[in-house]
Amino acid sequence: MKIEIAGQTDKGIVRSNNEDNFYVDERQGLFVVADGAGGQATGEVASRLAVDIIKQQVEKYFRGEDVLFGARNPGFSDATNALTSSIRFANQIIYEASKKYPQNQGMATTCVAAMFSGDRVSYCNVGDSRLYLCRDGQMKLITVDHSLVMEQLKRGLITEEQAEKAEYKNVLTRALGSDQSVEVDMFEIPAAEGDVLLACSDGLTRMLRDETIKKTVQDGLSATGGAQQGQESESDVLKDICSMLISQANALGGRDNITVALARVVHHKEGAAGILKKIWKGMAK
């Protein structure tokens, strides 16, 4: 399975600094988006720690090292458990750093991460950074926000219209670094050729409706023919779409930092995990 991935971040129009961070790696089929919180740049520290630690732990997993942190869920693959463990470990490090260093007190971050393995994609999230799946002309939100608004919506205390307009949409019920342990939502689904996964911080979704995001992604892919003509690599096409989404969010006010990562299955063959493990084994000989 061949995967193309691209990402981009922007501080937006209103904020003076960018507390979002992201990481993409086509070799690992991995992409991560983290949206930091805490003020005085501590959010930037938290989101950077999350991205760096997840990256390091996933690299260890592909080298065949044990990265299990917390209980293994037997209902999921090794790859999904490894990704989940990486996020749990990141939470522990961020929490300890916030307690050890006074300047980092209160820092936390959201996190959404996805990794292709074999013919499946594993994905996990904590907080309100989201992951969407675009397939067969449809776009579906496949994560659940861990926010006060979402909790009230699920309990029927507010309507969807009220939730959309709520002033406290950014109040989280779950984040990395807030507590010594964290519950990570973990999932895995089959991957298909042509699938597009979009991860983003709430700086995008607070400014753009899902229909606008979907149309921008579809128009961006169709305008280039999915890079089939060879004029532009698929990752360049995805970068352009990320730029378009960020520009649209900024045009509507850019009230928060904006981060977008896009991944597309361009050829469904041997899994990225299998290929990468062969590379690591070859290097070890």
| CB neighbours of residue 236 within 10 Å | 14
Nearest C-alpha neighbor of 22 from the set 118, 146, 135, 111: 111
The whole-number pLDDT of residue 282 equals 45
Would you say 6 and 242 are in contact if contact means Cβ atoms under 8 Å apart? yes
Give φ, ψ of 131 to 5 degrees.
-130, 130
Which residues lie across from 176 on neighbouring strands? 109
Q: Give the pLDDT band of residue 272 (cuts 50, 70, 90).
A: very low
Which residues lie across from 126 on neighbouring strands? 111
Q: Give the pLDDT band of residue 246 (cuts 50, 70, 90).
A: very high
Q: Give the pLDDT band of residue 192 (cuts 50, 70, 90).
A: very high
The whole-number pLDDT of residue 57 equals 98
Q: Could you give the CA distance from residue 251 to residue 235 in angstroms, rounded to a whole number?
A: 24
AA letter at 8 = Q
3-class DSSP assignment, residue 1: coil
Q: Give the pLDDT band of residue 153 (cuts 50, 70, 90).
A: confident
The whole-number pLDDT of residue 33 equals 98
> For the residues 106-114, what does the mean pLDDT come to?
96
AA letter at 69 = F
Q: Number of C-alpha atoms within 13 angstroms, CB side, residue 211?
A: 0
The mean predicted confidence, pLDDT, of the chain is 89
Q: Could you give the CA distance from residue 123 to residue 19 in angstroms, rounded to a whole number?
A: 22
In percent, the amount of the chain with pLDDT more than 90 equals 75
pLDDT of 278 > 80? The answer is: no
Kindly tell me the burial class for residue 257, based on how many C-beta atoms sit within 10 Å of its own C-beta (0-12, 13-18, 19 or more): buried
CA–CA distance from 275 to each of 26, 227, 269, 270, 271 (Å)? Answer: 12, 24, 10, 7, 6
3-class DSSP assignment, residue 33: strand
pLDDT of 134 > 60? The answer is: yes
> For the residues 218-237, what does the mean pLDDT come to?
68
Domain ranges of the chain: 2-284
Residue 39, both tokens: 């003020």
Residue 16, both tokens: 């003076």
AA letter at 2 = K
Nearest C-alpha neighbor of 40 from the set 129, 99, 130, 103: 103
Q: Given phi > 0 = left and psi -120 to 50 = alpha, else beta, which region is 79?
A: alpha
Assigned CATH for 2-284: 3.60.40.10
pLDDT of 275 > 60? The answer is: no
pLDDT of 231 > 80? The answer is: no
Q: Give the pLDDT band of residue 276 (cuts 50, 70, 90).
A: very low
> For the residues 221-243, what does the mean pLDDT come to?
72
